[in-house]
Chains A and B, each alone.
Chain A
Amino acid sequence: MAEMEGEGLRATSKAEVGNQMAAPVPWACCAVLAAAAAVVYTQRHSPQEAPHVQYERLGSDVTLPCGTANWDAAVTWRVNGTDLASDLLNGSQLVLHGLELGHSGLYACFHRDSWHLRHQVLLHVGLPPREPVLSCRSNTYPKGFYCSWHLPTPTYIPNTFNVTVLHGSKIMVCEKDPALKNRCHIRYMHLFSTIKYKVSISVSNALGHNATAITFDEFTIVKPDPPENVVARPVPSNPRRLEVTWQTPSTWPDPESFPLKFFLRYRPLILDQWQHVELSDGTAHTITDAYAGKEYIIQVAAKDNEIGTWSDWSVAAHATPWTEEPRHLTTEAQAPETTTSTTSSLAPLPTTKICDTGELGSGGGPSIPFLISVPVTLALAAAATTTSSLLI
């Protein structure tokens, strides 16, 4: 038997040498031959075929026996091809204390002298599952709803989930999501039901089992997706206006019969406080109290008119209200050129005063109503002359 083993080993080493010598021969071909030879030999002469798969709990201790070998048999253990020290052995058994994730691997024990493979264990270190987190939501009302789940902490080993949906006593089908493996979809057959839905999930792996369930009414889980394509634009000749438009979320199937209402929030980037506007219909709104010249951030959320909860906030839109172009820049530009180190705020140009008033406005809200654009510049200039003296 030992001679046969030697031949097997020599056969593999010959194949490896062949790899280096016969360069034109594709290495994949040689690798396949070598693997086939190794498999044939191990299958014929080893008592085990496939490695024994074993799952053990993180932090626990495990003793791996070398297959059917006697306790006093002389064996060597290897993990992933690396020798293990003999101080881990208890006779022919391998003892591992305080299992860590790094302990996962392929363990093999060999007869010490003949290198005959006695036993293989594919060890996976992991944890039993904790209670899963389950939530359901209808962003496609009245078509249906979906449920998604996850484990609060990883188990490091494969888990299987089983979801059941009950409507009263009737079992409903939850179709797996084609893309996401922790989500499934349920179609509403009936609307306006007084009977609650109960969704249960059980999760199990080789080390344990857990489960949870949630119960809810049809109306409470309705939450649309955020509005799409939120665009904010300045309004020409209106330094305090911004026009905002958006679209109903494309996942909401029937905005005609199930209209959405919207909530808009906006603030200048430099401030933390949001302004809010609730809109009962329409997908456009004009902000009329924007601070001149300041960049704004705007977001919109959606909700069914009567039931459910607000969507998440949309992707933010940014815009700055229209500002008048500086009119005297070409004629008066020659004068400040002699004093290049000084800033333009020292020169009393009417254009810069608009910016100064804007700075003032961010403090507490200007008292001048900005109704028509033309008189505004005159009013601003008048206000600025009085206030700029206070600033300096």
Chain B
Amino acid sequence: MDLRAGDSWGMLACLCTVLWHLPAVPALNRTGDPGPGPSIQKTYDLTRYLEHQLRSLAGTYLNYLGPPFNEPDFNPPRLGAETLPRATVNLEVWRSLNDKLRLTQNYEAYSHLLCYLRGLNRQAATAELRHSLAHFCTSLQGLLGSIAGVMAALGYPLPQPLPGIEPTWAPGPAHSDFLQKMDDFWLLKELQTWLWRSAKDFNRLKKKMQPPAAAVTLHLEAHGF
């Protein structure tokens, strides 16, 4: 199997271990928590904001990659990019995820995706692209912090970095420009899909945590002045 496409991810994985714990810092400062409800709502809102931001960013970046990547019908097979966290999940499995697992999967996914995005930023050719990517990375960092906050409020530990990541790496055979672009394409696609999934994940969490008082106030508005 051709491993050349995956090598860039391997190189970045090492970098990711260093950056892993950075988003955890904001979560430790929370005191006097009113409950996880508002922070779940905030996390949900962040995923929507990021999804909108990504739409314009992806459009610009895919145009920069050029055809066929910016064609709407582009439908390549999923080769390489093996280490990208995949949003796709069996319907029943997704439904039955417990809160801790749901949050953990989101947290781990965005940690990896953030790391890869930073790698993308380094390679980007134009200053405008680098600026847009940097802005998006900052927002994504905020999302990670928000998820960490929810996990802390619910008493769940933050996930540890995955074992088996080599501390040193040897630069693999230089893989083609096209394969690199394929990796970039899949990164953006996976990021977009994860943001859609997260919206649904946080919806589920929001419904579970919803205090009963909110339902009462809605009724008052409908019948009174």
Contact = CB atoms under 8 A, between A and B. Distances in A.
Interface stretch (B110-118, B154-162, B186-194): B186-194
A190 B86 CA distance: 12
A190 B89 contact: yes
Contacts of B29: none
B73 interface: yes
A259 interface: yes
A215 B189 CA distance: 16
Given A169-B77, A259-B203, A194 B90 contact: no
Interface in B53-79: 73, 75, 77-78
B95 interface: yes
B108 interface: no
Interface residues of A, number: 26
Given A194-B189, A215-B75, A286-B222, A306 B199 contact: yes
Given A193-B88, A306-B196, A307-B196, A257 B222 contact: no
A188 B51 CA distance: 23
A192 B222 contact: no
Nearest to A169: B77
Contact of B75 (A191, A198, A305): A198
B222 A193 contact: no
A59 B205 CA distance: 65
Given A169-B77, A257-B204, A257-B207, A194 B199 contact: no
B134 interface: no
Contacts of B124: none
B78 A168 contact: yes
A330 to B, nearest CB: 32
B213 to A, nearest CB: 15
A195 B78 contact: yes
B200 A306 contact: yes
B48 interface: yes
Nearest to B204: A257
Contacts of B169: none
Contacts of B51: 306
A132 B88 CA distance: 32
A97 interface: no
Which residue of B86, B197, B200 has the most chain A CB atoms within 10 A of its CB atom? B200
A329 B189 CA distance: 71
A247 to B, nearest CB: 15
A273 to B, nearest CB: 26
Contacts of B73: 215
A110 to B, nearest CB: 60
Interface string A358-382: 0000000000000000000000000
Contacts of B87: 192-194
Interface in A148-203: 168-169, 188-196, 198
B117 to A, nearest CB: 16
A286 B207 CA distance: 25
A191 B207 contact: no
Nearest to A258: B200
B28 interface: no
B91 interface: yes
Which residue of B48, B78, B88, B95 has the most chain A CB atoms within 10 A of its CB atom? B88
A62 to B, nearest CB: 43
B199 A305 contact: yes
B218 interface: yes
Given A243-B222, A259-B203, A286-B222, A192 B193 contact: yes
B196 A219 contact: yes
Contacts of A193: 87-88, 193
A66 B77 CA distance: 58
Nearest to A215: B75
A305 B222 CA distance: 22
A157 to B, nearest CB: 33
A299 B163 CA distance: 56
Nearest to A193: B88
B86 to A, nearest CB: 7
A142 interface: yes
A286 B78 CA distance: 49
Contacts of A306: 48, 51, 196, 199-200
Which 8 residue pairs are nearest across A and B when measured between Cβ atoms?
A192-B87, A192-B197, A193-B88, A306-B199, A196-B75, A194-B189, A190-B88, A194-B193
30 contacts: A168-B77, A168-B78, A189-B90, A190-B88, A190-B89, A190-B90, A190-B91, A191-B89, A191-B91, A191-B94, A192-B87, A192-B94, A192-B194, A192-B196, A192-B200, A194-B78, A194-B86, A194-B193, A195-B88, A196-B75, A198-B75, A215-B73, A215-B75, A219-B196, A257-B95, A257-B207, A259-B203, A282-B218, A306-B51, A306-B200
Given A191-B197, A194-B78, A194-B189, 18 more contacts: A168-B78, A190-B89, A190-B91, A191-B88, A191-B89, A192-B89, A193-B193, A194-B86, A195-B78, A195-B88, A198-B75, A215-B73, A282-B218, A286-B222, A305-B203, A306-B48, A306-B51, A306-B200
